[in-house]
Amino acid sequence: MIMGFAEDDEVWQAYLATFRQRLQDFGWTDGRNIRFDYRFTGESTERMRLAAAEMVAIAPDVIFLSTNPVLSALSQLTRTIPIVFTWVSDSVGSGYIASLARPAGNITGFHNFEPTLGGKWLGILKEIAPAVTRIGIVHVPEITANVAFLRVAEAASTSSGITVSGAGVRNADDIERVLNEFAREQNAGLIVTPSPLTATRRDVIIETAARLRLPAIYPFRFYAVSGGLISYGIDQTELVREAASYVDRILRGANPGELPVQLPTKYQLVININTARMLGLTVPSSMQLLADEMIE
């Protein structure tokens, strides 16, 4: 397994615990009939490349991984070892697979988002923070899917009176600088796209957004739990349970190229009411009714 996050991150340890438990439900017990090898890379692309090379050298029966950058590193090194991904977006546009219905190679998995979510995030942020007229898309420019989110949000903004621009970040040092620059003008807000960097450094992003009084929408529940204003994204627990089912099928002889890449079917809207109050925002009653969770 190659995970694009830090080993001591409690959110992702719970993610892996769910994965291991689901495999055990299928009859795979660590130390008896299966062995797990782990690599945790955080946001470091160099560690991702090293981890990918080490994993290919081990030649496992299947590799389970998360995030676009990890898949990019690994897909360049093997076209034979089966790979099951999660927390990946735009796998066709990124060149990882031939098609969703028939990946055709050694890679399959479960998407977290499609690029169209860029427009959805924009609409939700505008609903909870109607005064926002400028939105920065916090993204990693080297991640194809992140750029796709930006382009969709730009297109969606043309009829809404909102100016959308990229807020590219490549490392931890970029985050505060880029957010400070963006907050110099009034009525600014943020859409934070999914990546190893934005997940690993989420506390910095959330704290900086709060200090600068920037309303922000995030892609996963754990951001809102950590103090982010609002999140809209997949049910990660369900995603990883489904991914374990593909690993089980491959271990029993299935061809990954014949297992269709699955799109998400369940999304969660989570609102942090305390953060909304701190920003002076009133959460519309219609949004409260739609929310899956309200954090006080």
Specify the pTM. Answer: 0.90
Checking if the pLDDT of 289 tops 90, the result is: yes
Do 78 and 212 share a structural domain?
Answer: no
One domain for residues 61 and 191: no
126 and 248 within one domain: no
Number of domains in the chain: 2
Is the same domain home to 226 and 259? no
- pLDDT tens track for 237-259: 888 999 999 999 999 999 999 99
When comparing pLDDT for 166 and 235, which is higher? Answer: 166
Residues 20 and 136 in one domain: no
Structure confidence by residue, pLDDT tens digits, 177-203? 999 999 998 999 999 999 999 999 999
d(CA 8, CA 35): 21
- Based on the fold, state whether residues 209 and 281 are members of the same structural domain: yes
Q: What is the dihedral of CA 155, 291, 138, 153, to 10 degrees?
A: 0
User: Alpha-carbon distance 72 to 48, whole Å?
Assistant: 9
User: Cα separation of 125 and 22, whole Å?
Assistant: 35
Based on the fold, state whether residues 68 and 210 are members of the same structural domain: no
Clarify whether residues 154 and 274 are in a common domain: yes
Same domain, 29 and 158: no
Question: What is the pLDDT confidence band of residue 5, given thresholds at 50, 70 and 90?
Answer: confident
One domain, residues 174 and 254? no
At how many degrees (to 10) do helices 68-75 and 45-58 cross? 50
DSSP-assigned letters across all residues of 11-36: HHHHHHHHHHHHHHHTT--BTTTB--
User: 216: domain range?
Assistant: 117-233+268-295
Query: Rounded CA gap, 224 and 235, in Å?
Result: 14
Return the percentage of the chain with pLDDT > 70, whole number.
100
**198 and 256, same structural domain?**
no
Predicted confidence band of residue 113 (pLDDT cuts 50, 70, 90): confident
Query: 146 with 167, same domain?
Result: yes
183 Cβ contact list (under 8 Å, min separation 6) = 212, 213, 214
The per-residue pLDDT for range 12-28, each reduced to its tens digit, is 888 899 999 999 999 99
Instruction: Please name the amino acid found at residue 240.
Output: V
What CATH number corresponds to the domain at position 177?
3.40.50.2300
* Whole-number Å distance between alpha carbons of 164 and 242: 35
Residue 111, φ and ψ in degrees, nearest 5: -70, 150
| Cα–Cα dist 157/148, whole Å | 14
